[in-house]
Amino acid sequence: MAQAEVIDGKAFSENLVKMVAVEAKSIEVAIGRAPALAVVLVGEHPASAVYVRNKIERTTAAGMRSIEHRLPTTIDQATLLTLIAEMNADDAVDGILVQLPLPDQIDEDAVINAIAPEKDVDGFHVVNAGLLATGQQSLVPCTPYGCLLLLRDQLGSLSGLNAVVVGRSNIVGKPMAQLLLRESCTVTIAHSRTKDLPAACANADILVAAVGRPEMITGDHVKQGATVIDVGINRVPAPERGEGKFRLTGDVDYASAAEKAGAITPVPGGVGPMTIGCLLRNTAVAAARRFNVSIGDI
């Protein structure tokens, strides 16, 4: 059985980060300091703590300044909003990221929308979502941006291709669909309630899985030769590795999908590394735009 080409997001991301490091240096020369990313972690969510540690390490490794705010789970919304207002007003902060999820007493939308749009390196602010939807310059959410870079690298022009995005989150599904539309794809958004998902995916030249359900997308959903992008990162029990052990798996059943796909991203090592690469890129872009420094487009 033919096997799909494996899309190496880790290698692509390493090159992207090298490019961002060069951009960061040229911004530093122009404005007299390195681009700075402030990361806010509320509480002790274990996965969030790992993500944030990773983001901080990579930011510094790319020659940018990392500013860290760790707040207790019990923090109230007013205190968090005050911190955001201070960072908005601080000229030495270029990017602000508040790690999600937030504790129940905090209104996530209110927090996201309190971030100055030009510092919103997650691209989640309603202004950035609106700018993207209307084809204007914005900061683009990191994970879909990373998926788009991999797709462009794999396929060249995406114009006219049929793209199906499975998942409708504000973080991935919706912005992914907007980006693909901007590339002149014919875009379908499917989700967990779609009636006949294999039928909805049958004509997809590009299939992006972002439903958050382990291995839900199988070979039955994949058109022969399609490019499959797996956004999922799910931790599932792996008794074959020993009692209490886990493994990481995507939203795609890799073995069956790879038999039909032309190319596919693995988990781990596919989309995951691209998210951080794009966050660093967004931080450089935010700094460059704020101070009118010219860096290239990607």
Q: What residues act catalytically?
A: 55, 99, 122
Is cis: bond before 266, omega within 30 of 0? no
Q: At closest approach, how far in Å is the CB of 210 from ligand GUN? A: 11
Q: Are 183 and 226 in contact (CB under 8 A)?
A: no
- Considering beta carbons, is residue 100 or 202 the nearer one to ligand GUN? 100
Q: Would you list the DSSP string of 142-207?
A: HHHHHHHHHHHHHHS--TT-EEEEE---TTTHHHHHHHHHHTT-EEEEE-TT-S-HHHHHTT-SEE
Q: Are 284 and 30 in contact (CB under 8 A)?
A: no
Q: At closest approach, how far in Å is the CB of 55 from ligand GUN? A: 9
DSSP state of 117: G
Q: How far is CA 224 from the centre of its chain?
A: 27
Residue reference for tokens 């995005």: 165
The amino acid present at 117, given as its one-letter code, is P
- Contact residues toward ligand GUN (CB under 6 A) are 97-100, 122, 142-143, 171
Residue 200: exposure state from Cβ atoms within 10 A (0-12, 13-18, ≥19): middle
Q: At closest approach, how far in Å is the CB of 57 from ligand GUN? A: 16
Pairing verdict, β 186-190 and 227-230: unpaired
- Considering beta carbons, is residue 27 or 38 the nearer one to ligand GUN? 38
- Considering beta carbons, is residue 4 or 37 the nearer one to ligand GUN? 37
- Considering beta carbons, is residue 98 or 176 the nearer one to ligand GUN? 98
- Considering beta carbons, is residue 4 or 98 the nearer one to ligand GUN? 98
Q: At closest approach, how far in Å is the CB of 102 from ligand GUN? A: 9
Q: At closest approach, how far in Å is the CB of 226 from ligand GUN? A: 26
